[in-house]
Structure 1
Amino acid sequence: MKVFFVINQHVFDGSAHALYCYRNCWWLARTGAGRSVELLVPGTLSLARDVSAACAEHFDLPPLENLRVTALPALRKAKRERGVTLNVIFHAAASWHLRRHARKGDVLLTASFPKLFAFLAGKKTLKSKLKCVYEVHQLQELDGHKDQPKSVREHRVLALADGLVTTTDSLKALLQKNHPATPLINIGLACAVPKTLPAPAPGATPFVLGYVGSLYRGQGIDWLIEYWESISAALPRAAQLKIAGGSPAEIEKLRDQIKDGMHDHISFVGQVRQSELNGFLSGVDALVIPALNQGRMPCVAITKAYDYLACQRPVLASDLPSIVEVMRPEQEALVFAAGDAAALAAQLRRLMSAPELGLELVQSANQRLLTLGWEARNSRYWPFLQASPD
């Protein structure tokens, strides 16, 4: 049995989704004894000739004999740049590759590319020999398109799937409502950060609250910056906010939102690679997930909720369903009402006043990791992929 994971995305574009797709394939291969995985990606001039070796180096994961990355013909613009993208070229190349290399009983798998999935799963020659599985990380209706053509088309695409995989209980409930006859499993995400960090020294001044992740609207960083002055004023000692992630343009936009007199209290460090994470966290006392209750955020899996578990730092998180099903209130995180600055300040005061509370949160997170690692995830994923379609 072989899994073909197909994405219409430059694998080196720096996005969280590209990182997830490669990690997912790597861990499927790592845990798939006797099975192989091939990641199919659009080829461009910037992709090295030996794509598998280039990916292993780029994502800082050792090469595996049963994992292959194949770049197929494509014409597409670089992320956030002008240019031309002709999806049909890559779609056709992927179809040709699967017709040539796939065997009866193999699996076609993709995540968040409905047009690509519709093109491939809609072909009888491929559907007859491949189990077609779609990973649902979000739905159009969560962005306000419930009764609009985008959402209708998306559910038509999902109806082609022999199996649906999702990442939160909220998404699972929505999918069961619309596709009750399709086999479905919620496997969540998995923590990808190694446990190598010592705890910070208690009582250090100033107290540093850290954030690592995307900076787009809904993640709550713009809200946190707006209210940081009032939050820090309510704390028993000086505090700073340290932010990692985002593009230069996103960072500059957020810098412009910092209030006069607060520039020395909020800092940005830009993108932090896996190898640089220890250095960033060495100067951080706690981590925050300030996600807001808007759009897709309450329903889609929050990668930080998983990765923060291994960072050996106490976590403060908003009370979204997608977060608290991973980081349980008063166990792995101190939870506050999303968008409530006073509530966040109150939890920060608790943490700053009781260092033993932070240690308890970290210890609970270490235990939680045992059930939220990639091995545990794939112990459920592989049987689902192997099951015969009804």
Structure 2
Amino acid sequence: MRLAYLHPGSVPSLYANSVHAMRMCDAFTEAGHEVTLYTAPGTYTVDDPHAYYGVRHRFAVRTVPSPDYTPAGYRVRAGRVRDLLTRAAPDVVYGHDLYGLTAAAGVAPLVYETHRLRDDPVTLAIERRLLREPSLARIVVITEALARDYRHTYGRPGLPRILVAPEGADPPEATAGPEDPPRLPGRPDAPRIGYVGHLYEGRGIDLVLDLAGRLPALDFHLIGGTPEDLARWSDPRPPANAYFHGHRPPGAVAAYYPLFDVVLAPYQAKIYTAGGHCETGRWASPMKLFEYMVQGRAVVASDLPVLREILHDRVNCLLRPAGEPAAWAGAVTELLADDGLRRALGDEARRQVLHRHTWRHRAGRVLAGLDPASG
């Protein structure tokens, strides 16, 4: 099947939405589809985006610039995308790009993936128009919580099917990354506690630093973060046993997980995207959580309703209240003292992701029934 994936952001970029787009296109390609990713030009230059993101399959990446970052500019870009699609119509148009999907109406069946409810008048109007399009085949969301909110907000006769598909992860052996493991600073005999992800508000970085202060015998490693966020968290000076590593190419991140004894998912009730523009804590399905799990790491995570859709205390993780650092310190200490518990939680987490949450599983679910060759 010929599939056009419309990504509203840039490739490459520092943001998680670009990782999601590349992983999904990789999984669609693995499933045998002919994929073209339409994206804005990268915010920086890399020699090979496939290698940079660690994806194993080659697919076309076509950059389509916008005149500017305004609604008018996005509409111009969407028109350019439609022109490209009509020259060689795909079988399905998939993506997050509201402007592009709306412009592509009638070219092919549309699949709209969304990770939050819209809250500004311009994109709300575009989304309402998209949801009325006869060619919209389905809506894909990442959590049951978001599905409920969409049904409540837009519930009406004729609303397309809403499919819940949480984020995913690739098995470690299926990730194209560096052969040699990275070298970490710190004490060679100190247990290593890991955090991987952005350093935005609501990600619990203050909790990680609090734990570093409470547990001085452990080394804490934080992988990720823009230069601006790194500067913000370095003042005041963090504990000496906390190491900020900054942004790493997505294809290189998987090599860090085996180095950690315990990993942290300290998400707060309010989780913000870059620049604090959007609050998504009610609907979050963090990619890094699935990467922790598929690597068989023992996870300590925030006990939030939306995370309980995937996480179960003392089954595949330890859950602790986001605002109680003493409870987190106790959980980390318990895991380090109990090798059997640590292995059991990691093994079950890995089993669950491999059973139903790989990117390949997700790609099959979101397209099920749409392949014209199957009907």
TM-score where L is the length of structure 2? 0.82
Could you tell me which residue of structure 1 aligns to residue 234 of structure 2? Answer: 255
Unaligned runs of 5+ in 1: 78-82, 122-126, 199-203
- Secondary structure of 2:313's counterpart equals coil
Whole-Å separation in 2 of the counterparts to 1:149 and 1:331: 43
Q: 2:138 aligns with which of 163, 168, 171?
A: 163
Q: 1:311 aligns with which of 295, 303, 320?
A: 295
Going from structure 1 to structure 2, the CA distance change for 1:167 and 1:385 (only over 3 Å counts) comes to farther
Whole-Å separation in 2 of the counterparts to 1:42 and 1:151: 18
Residue 289 (1) aligns with residue 283 (2): no
Aligned residues: 347
Cα displacement (A) at 1:276: 3.7
TM-score where L is the length of structure 1? 0.79
Q: 2:356 aligns with which of 361, 371, 389?
A: 371
Code of the residue aligned with 1:290 in structure 2: it is P
Q: Determine what percentage of the aligned residue pairs are the same residue.
A: 21
Could you tell me which residue of structure 2 aligns to residue 273 of structure 1? Answer: 249
Cα displacement (A) at 1:356: 1.2
Cα displacement (A) at 1:336: 0.4
- Secondary structure of 1:37's counterpart equals strand
Could you tell me which residue of structure 1 aligns to residue 101 of structure 2? Answer: 117
Q: 2:50 aligns with which of 39, 53, 56?
A: 56
Q: 1:138 aligns with which of 86, 105, 116?
A: 116
Could you tell me which residue of structure 1 aligns to residue 222 of structure 2? Answer: 243
- Secondary structure of 2:356's counterpart equals coil
Unaligned runs of 5+ in 2: 182-187, 271-278
Going from structure 1 to structure 2, the CA distance change for 1:194 and 1:16 (only over 3 Å counts) comes to same
Code of the residue aligned with 1:94 in structure 2: it is V
Root-mean-square deviation over aligned CA pairs:
3.1
Aligned structure 1 segments of 4 or more residues deviating by more than 4 angstroms: 43-48, 195-198
Could you tell me which residue of structure 2 aligns to residue 108 of structure 1? Answer: 93
Could you tell me which residue of structure 1 aligns to residue 162 of structure 2? Answer: 184
Could you tell me which residue of structure 2 aligns to residue 28 of structure 1? Answer: 28
Cα displacement (A) at 1:337: 1.1
Cα displacement (A) at 1:102: 0.8
Could you tell me which residue of structure 1 aligns to residue 276 of structure 2? Answer: none
Cα displacement (A) at 1:339: 2.0
Instruction: Confirm or deny: 8 A CA contact 1:44 1:75 kept in the other structure.
Output: no
Whole-Å separation in 2 of the counterparts to 1:231 and 1:150: 46
Could you tell me which residue of structure 2 aligns to residue 41 of structure 1? Answer: 39
- Map Cα deviations across residues 153-211 of structure 1 (whole Å, 9 max, x no partner): 3651452333101111111111122334321111111113515999xxxxx85332110
Whole-Å separation in 2 of the counterparts to 1:246 and 1:42: 22
Instruction: Confirm or deny: 8 A CA contact 1:139 1:151 kept in the other structure.
Output: no
Whole-Å separation in 2 of the counterparts to 1:302 and 1:374: 14
**Please, which moves more after superposition, 35-44 or 275-284?**
275-284
Instruction: Confirm or deny: 8 A CA contact 1:317 1:335 kept in the other structure.
Output: yes
- Map Cα deviations across residues 275-334 of structure 1 (whole Å, 9 max, x no partner): 544653454211000000114223121111111112232110001233222232211111
- Secondary structure of 2:128's counterpart equals helix
Could you tell me which residue of structure 2 aligns to residue 232 of structure 1? Answer: 215
Ranked by relative contact order (alpha carbons within 8 Å, sequence separation 6 or more), the top structure is 2
Q: 1:70 aligns with which of 56, 62, 66?
A: 62
